[in-house]
């Protein structure tokens, strides 16, 4: 039989099994997980609806570079419609999924009522968690969306602008103090990036207040930053940050955040800019499923990536929690989301044609974190890398992973410019008013 004939028969089977219509697959979320699920179904005889509340897919690992002015939003964000343009079995909807009814097999949308599904892929990602202290959000914003990153960029640039004309030396010092709460990869990237903005990009641009006097503090409650890496790499990351001038504070818990002040127990630090990168929680739509969720709202799934009682529902990426053989859950990182998206799509394709879904196994291709120019750490298999070699690997992997993004050349060009000149092409304050 030819491949075409097989596909035809397969399609016919699925068609017949669903009372004369193609199975409806609803995917919630156009991030790495959702997008890869849609793509894995490109040859399946299904009708896919992909719902996202934004019109764009975001290459989130580079979002901190929007916050630090190296990249423009359009360098790392591409309209989802454009990415799926040629895949005719997908319809993209700009809307927000509010809740899910497992019994009725429907998704409730914010503006368009309810939508029925035969298969559901829940891939709505995660957002900041303030561990129950949501009132801190106002004073210490987090960074998950393009808009978050632009708000942080504006806050940082305005702090330097204000310090140029601040009344007292104390005010000036506070304005040029930046605190990042949380020493995970995003916190580390932001700390290094902000220090470079202060010492390189803005050098020589002010006449009264010297940006290079800026203090950047990275606070991590655990004994070391980047705790998901081996201890030696954590230590190296700390040394590399300190060599840049970042002050790393470990083993101290933030007990209170107010406007411009961070409390570490008795101690207080004044800072014009406070950024939160300490915790994430799964998208709250997971709680509407009515199934058990873990701390952080993560939905427990089977090894085939779906719900035990409702196998037609797949929950993937940052929304779910899958235990590994070593008793630890898979981390909430881009490669896991991408691989799970692809796998969930393939499992749906199998089920639709009468085959059994297959268990997912994460292929760990290594992990890395960047710190600044020529500074990074990387773990590939048993090998560890630090400094320039790790940094070059990080660059190569991140430009490489943007494959399919026409913006790759633009990103590489911008990086080269920033590398050579220290300038940040996107250091703009776009807002309408001097706040």
Residues with active-site annotation: 189
Please enumerate in sequence order all residues whose Cβ is within 8 A of that of 121, keeping only pairs 6 or more positions apart, or say none. Answer: 25, 26, 27, 28, 29, 33, 34, 37, 314, 316, 341, 344, 345, 348
Specify the residue, 350 or 401, whose C-beta has the smaller distance to its own copies: 401
Write out the H or E segment, with its range, that includes residue 274: strand 273-276
Least CB distance to its own copies at residue 44 (A): 17
List the structure tokens of 111. Answer: 């503006």
Q: Which of 8, 204, 294, 354 binds its own copies (CB under 8 A)?
A: 204
Q: Judged by CB under 8 A, does residue 147 bind its own copies?
A: yes
First and final C-alpha spacing in the chain:
69
Work out which of 12, 82, 114, 135 binds its own copies, going by CB under 8 A.
Answer: 82
For its own copies, the closer of residues 52 and 342 by Cβ is 52
Under rule CB under 8 A, residue 87 binds its own copies: no
Which residue number, 27 or 246, has a Cβ lying nearer to its own copies? 27
CB of 429 to its own copies, least distance (A): 4
> Across-strand partners of 49?
26, 91
Structure tokens at 365: 């291709």
| DSSP state at residue 121 | E
Among 3, 5, 19, 207, binds its own copies (CB under 8 A): 207
Interface segment toward its own copies; rule CB under 8 A; list 70-78, 124-132, 230-238, 296-304? 70-78
The CB-of-413 to its own copies minimum distance in angstroms stands at 6
Sheet holding 24-28, edge to edge: 90-94, 47-52, 24-28, 119-122, 313-315
Judged by CB under 8 A, the residue of 11, 13, 79, 397 near its own copies is 79
Q: How far is CA 385 from the centre of its chain?
A: 24
Per DSSP, the three-state class of 419 is helix
Which residues fall within 8 angstroms of residue 372, CB to CB, at 6 or more apart? 192, 193, 195, 196, 240, 241, 244
Residue 164 is a binding residue for its own copies (CB under 8 A): yes
Find residue 162's DSSP bridge partners.
none
In angstroms, the CA 291 to CA 322 distance is: 15
Q: Please say which residue, 324 or 421, places its beta carbon nearer to its own copies.
A: 421
Give the position of tokens 């960074």: 143
Return the number of the residue (79 or 311) whose C-beta is nearest its own copies: 79
CB contact set of 1 (below 8 Å; sequence gap of 6+): 9
Near its own copies by CB under 8 A: residue from 63, 150, 249, 307:
150
Q: Does 422 bind its own copies (CB under 8 A)?
A: no
Backbone dihedral region for residue 387 (phi beyond 0: left; psi -120 to 50: alpha; all else: beta): left
Taking the C-alpha atoms of residue 194 and residue 241, their distance in angstroms, rounded to an integer, is: 11
Letters for 103-122 (x = contact with its own copies by CB under 8 A, - = none) are: -------xxx----------
Q: How far apart are CA 362 and CA 340, in angstroms?
A: 8
CB of 2 to its own copies, least distance (A): 28
List the x/- string, 380-409, binding to its own copies by CB under 8 A. --------------------------xx-x
Q: Does 412 bind its own copies (CB under 8 A)?
A: no
Q: Kindly tell me which of 396 and 409 has the beta carbon lying closer to its own copies.
A: 409
Interface positions with its own copies (CB under 8 A): 53-56, 72-75, 77-79, 81-82, 85-86, 88, 91-96, 110-112, 145-147, 150, 157-158, 161, 164-165, 202, 204-208, 406-407, 409-410, 413-414, 417, 421, 423, 425-434
């Amino acid at each position: 039989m030819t491949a075409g004939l097989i596909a035809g028969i397969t399609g016919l089977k699925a068609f017949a099994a669903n009372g004369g219509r193609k199975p409806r697959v609803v995917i919630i979320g156009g991030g790495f997980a959702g997008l890869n699920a849609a793509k894995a179904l490109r040859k399946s005889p299904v009708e896919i609806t992909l719902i996202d509340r934004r019109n764009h897919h975001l290459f989130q690992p580079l979002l901190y570079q929007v916050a630090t002015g190296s990249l423009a939003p359009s360098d790392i964000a591409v309209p989802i419609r454009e990415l799926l343009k040629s895949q005719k079995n997908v319809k993209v909807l700009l809307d927000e999924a509010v809740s899910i009814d497992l019994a009725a097999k429907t998704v409730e949308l914010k503006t368009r009522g309810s939508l029925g599904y035969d298969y559901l892929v829940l891939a709505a990602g995660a957002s900041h968690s303030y561990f129950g202290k949501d009132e801190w959000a106002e004073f210490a914003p987090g960074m998950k969306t393009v808009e978050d990153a632009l708000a942080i960029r504006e806050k940082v640039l305005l702090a330097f602008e204000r310090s140029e004309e601040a009344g007292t030396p104390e005010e000036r010092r506070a304005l040029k103090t930046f605190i990042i709460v949380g020493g995970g990869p995003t916190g580390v990237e932001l700390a290094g990036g902000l220090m470079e903005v202060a010492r390189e990009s803005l050098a020589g641009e002010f006449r009264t207040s010297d940006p290079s006097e800026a203090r950047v503090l990275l606070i991590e409650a655990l004994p070391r930053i980047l705790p998901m890496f081996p201890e030696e790499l954590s230590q190296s990351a700390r040394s590399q940050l300190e060599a840049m001038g970042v002050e790393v504070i470990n083993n101290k818990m933030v007990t209170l955040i107010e406007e411009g002040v961070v409390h570490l127990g008795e101690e207080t630090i004044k800072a014009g800019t406070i950024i939160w990168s300490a915790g994430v929680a799964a998208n709250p739509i997971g709680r509407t499923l009515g199934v058990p969720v873990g701390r952080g709202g993560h939905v427990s799934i089977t090894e085939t990536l779906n719900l035990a009682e409702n196998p037609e529902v797949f929950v993937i990426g940052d929304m779910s929690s899958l235990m590994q053989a070593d008793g630890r859950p898979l981390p909430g990182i881009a490669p896991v989301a991408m691989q799970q998206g692809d796998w969930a799509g393939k499992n749906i394709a199998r089920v639709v044609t009468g085959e059994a879904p297959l268990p997912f196994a994460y292929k760990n291709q290594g992990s890395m974190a960047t710190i600044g120019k020529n500074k990074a750490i990387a773990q590939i298999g048993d090998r560890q890398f630090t400094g320039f070699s790790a940094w070059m690997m990080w660059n190569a992997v991140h430009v490489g992973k943007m494959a399919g993004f026409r913006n790759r050349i633009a990103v590489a060009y911008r990086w080269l410019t920033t590398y050579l000149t220290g300038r940040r092409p996107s250091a703009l304050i776009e807002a309408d008013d001097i706040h």
